[in-house]
Structure 1
Amino acid sequence: MSTRMRRRLAQLESERRGMLMGFLPAGFPEPDAFRAVAQAAFGAGLDALEVSMPGPAPELDGPLIQAAAERASAHLDGIPAALRLAASSRSEDADTIVALAYASTFAHIGPEAFFDELVAADIDAYLLPQHPMREQLALGERARARGIEPVLFLYLQEDLELLAASPIEEPVIYLQSADLRTGGAFNPEKAAERLAELAEALGERRYFVCVGFGVRGPEEVEALMATGANGAIIGTQLVRAADEGPDAVTALVDSVAPALVGRTLRGAEEVIR
């Protein structure tokens, strides 16, 4: 399966650098500004952008993201509008956008209809951070059959066995760094422990893992690259920068980029495992 996500992963492999993924609520701070800051992020080197659908952010997100989600939702009329706005925010066609859907999203739309909207808007990846792993995997198989890339949200140790047994080939994984809310303090030891547990559980299976929660800048990203991650996810800091404008977003991405370059990700022979 060839998607923007897969093509970007192949590019990263050839360049031997980690992926930088960001997060913004669709329409934050308001639609035109969202488009401007997203394009600034991509232009500065962001590899992928998670874009959350309209609606309240759950407790797993910190107060800054919850407030941003509330502000953003006031500007958009439903999921199709959010996805169209996200697609229009690409700096170039190859830019990867990941549609993030909370559990509340599916009070308004079913999974198949959501996939229909992803295809219609030309968004080829998604993330379901509140769905149990068993459901994520079942939906992931259905999505893959339609050419849509699932990003699997891993936060429970007991889910490792399910992930290891899944027929989904070369999964893309979002690993929660620790038991905290977005915007909390980063714990490099806990992140390294979780990366090691994932590597042990998946053994020789190929996979790609990005780590989020508490990742603020180059120091955290460098620690992750040194302990086996393929990429890092910056949410709260990107939301804060987006509220300031494109220049602040560009400065944030520029500050992180050097920490992603020239790293040996889980061995020179397997940047994407």
Structure 2
Amino acid sequence: MTTRLKRRLEQLAAERRGMLMGFLPAGFPEPQAFTAAARAAFNAGLDALEVSMPGPAPALDGPLIQAAADRASQHLAGIPDALRLAAASRANADDTIVALAYASTFDGITPDAFFDELVAADIDAYLLPQHSMAEQLELAERAAQRGLEAVIFLYLQEDLAQLAASPIECPVIYLQSAALRTGGTFNPEKASERLGELAEAFGDRPYFVCVGFGVRGPDEVELLMEVGANGAIIGTRLVTAAEEGPDSVTALVDAVAPALVGRSRGLAGAGQREAPVA
């Protein structure tokens, strides 16, 4: 069974276009505004929306997202409520939602119970940015049995070998750029270096990689497409736009879209990164 996320990545690779993934806390700035922002983003061409579960955001998410997470949590009864809201915010049935769960999420729910809630809400992809690589890979195997796609969060260079040697076929990877927090300063040289290290570690094994942290608009996205990413993730800027309203969300996605078109990335099964198209 192929997930929405993997189908979208394969489609975009065939079209030689990059993926645009956004981030919002579930229910931010309040449930109706969240739904309006999500649908505006999808209708404008957003490929996937990463949605965090209720609860405090960690320091890695920066002060703006931490404050947004706190506000959003006041409107939700818990994880099932957040997942139902996220699923109902699709503009089309095949729109991709990635459920983000922090370490604190599991203070009140087991990973297997969380996976069951994802299935019940028709959310088929998830991200665990605070889990170790070993934990992510072990849970990915259990999630796959339920038809769920693990987005593997990679931030430590020493985790590269373990990830590359894992049995996951064509993993979807969230690669943290040089920024220590979301919303930080984007470092193009470091991002390029990290993408190169990833390609070297995987060799001929296929994978998809999207880069986040410090990615704000078309300039950063265009560079990432040129140096081998399959996609880019915009968080802090989308949170700001969502509070401003659907028109701002649409304008942000519209501004980034041209940077995604006509770029060459490694395709699933290609096992290599191709030279960028001029």
Q: TM-score, normalised by structure 1?
A: 0.98
> Are 1:62 and 2:83 counterparts?
no
Q: Which runs of 5+ in 1 are unaligned?
A: none
Distance 1:192 1:109 in 2: 37
Q: Which runs of 5+ in 2 are unaligned?
A: 274-278
1:270 deviates by: 3.7
Residue of structure 1 equivalent to 2:183: 183
Percent identical among aligned pairs is: 78
Cα gap change, 1:73 to 1:267, in 2 (>3 Å): closer
One-letter amino acid of the counterpart of residue 238, structure 2: L
Contact 1:208 1:272 in 2 (8 A): no
Contact 1:49 1:97 in 2 (8 A): yes
> Are 1:203 and 2:211 counterparts?
no
1:220 deviates by: 0.1
**Matched residues, number:** 273
1:154 deviates by: 0.1
Residue of structure 2 equivalent to 1:139: 139
Distance 1:237 1:85 in 2: 21
SS at match of 2:140: helix
CA RMSD of aligned residues (A): 1.5
1:150 deviates by: 0.2
Distance 2:272 2:90 in 1: 24
1:13 deviates by: 1.7
Distance 1:266 1:170 in 2: 11
Distance 1:140 1:206 in 2: 17
Distance 2:109 2:73 in 1: 16
Cα gap change, 1:21 to 1:267, in 2 (>3 Å): closer
Cα gap change, 1:209 to 1:268, in 2 (>3 Å): closer
Distance 1:168 1:115 in 2: 18
Residue of structure 1 equivalent to 2:46: 46
Contact 1:13 1:271 in 2 (8 A): no
1:179 deviates by: 4.2
SS at match of 1:243: helix
With 229-238 and 263-272 compared, the bigger mean Cα shift is at: 263-272
Q: TM-score, normalised by structure 2?
A: 0.96
Residue of structure 2 equivalent to 1:75: 75
**Residues 159-193 of structure 1 deviation map (CA, whole Å, 9 limit, x = unaligned):** 00110110011000000001410000000000000
1:16 deviates by: 0.9
Could you list the structure 1 runs, at least 4 aligned residues long, displaced by more than 6 angstroms after superposition: none
